[in-house]
Amino acid sequence: MERTPLNALQVFVTAARAQNMTRAAERLHLTVSALSHQVRLLEERLNCRLFVRGPRGLKLTVEGDLLLQRVGPQLDAIESALRPLCMRSDRVLSLSALPSMASSWLVPRLPRFVARHPDLEINLDSSIERVDFADGRFVGALRYGAGQWNGLQAELLFEEWLTPVASPQLLRRRKRPRLDQLGDWPLLCPDDPWPRWFEQFGGREPARYVATFSDSETAQRATLEGMGVTLGRATMVRPLIESGRLVALFPERMQSRYAHYLVYPPRSAEHAGFKAFRSWLLEEAAAFVHRADAPSARPRAKKSR
Mind listing the pLDDT tens digit for each residue in 219-268?
Answer: 889 999 999 999 999 888 988 999 999 999 999 999 999 999 999 999 99
What is the 8-class DSSP label of residue 269? G
pLDDT of residue 99: 86
* Residue 73, H or E segment: helix 62-82
Distance CA 95, CA 131 (A): 10
Provide the 8-state DSSP code for 41. H
At 258, the amino acid letter reads Y
What is the spatial distance between Cα 75 and Cα 77, in angstroms, rounded to a whole number? 5
pLDDT band at residue 298 under the 50/70/90 scheme: very low
Quote the CA–CA distance of 262 and 283 in Å, as a whole number.
13
**How much is the pLDDT for 293?**
64
> Which CATH superfamily is 87-157+258-293 part of?
Periplasmic binding protein-like II (3.40.190.10)
Task: Indicate the pLDDT class of residue 200, thresholds 50, 70 and 90.
Answer: very high
Q: Are strands 140-145 and 92-97 parallel, antiparallel or unpaired?
A: parallel
The reply to whether CATH 3.40.190.10 applies to domain 160-256 is yes
Do 6-86 and 87-157+258-293 fold alike per CATH?
A: no
Longest Cα–Cα distance of the chain, Å, equals 89
Q: Where are the domains of the chain?
A: 6-86, 87-157+258-293, 160-256
Q: Is the pLDDT of residue 304 over 80?
A: no
Tell me which amino acid residue 216 is: S
CA gap 235, 238 in Å, rounded: 6
The CATH classification number of 6-86 equals 1.10.10.10
How far is Cα 233 from Cα 28, in angstroms, rounded to an integer? 36
Least reliable range by pLDDT among 69-78, 206-215, 286-295: 286-295
Residue 266 identity (one-letter amino acid): P
Please state, rounded to an integer, the average pLDDT across all residues of the chain. 87
Q: At 220, is the secondary structure helix, strand, or coil?
A: helix
pLDDT grade for 84, boundaries at 50, 70 and 90: low
pLDDT one-digit tens code per residue, 118-157: 999 999 998 877 888 877 789 999 999 999 898 899 999 9
Nearest CA among 128, 67, 81 for reference residue 101: 128
User: What pTM did the predictor assign?
Assistant: 0.66
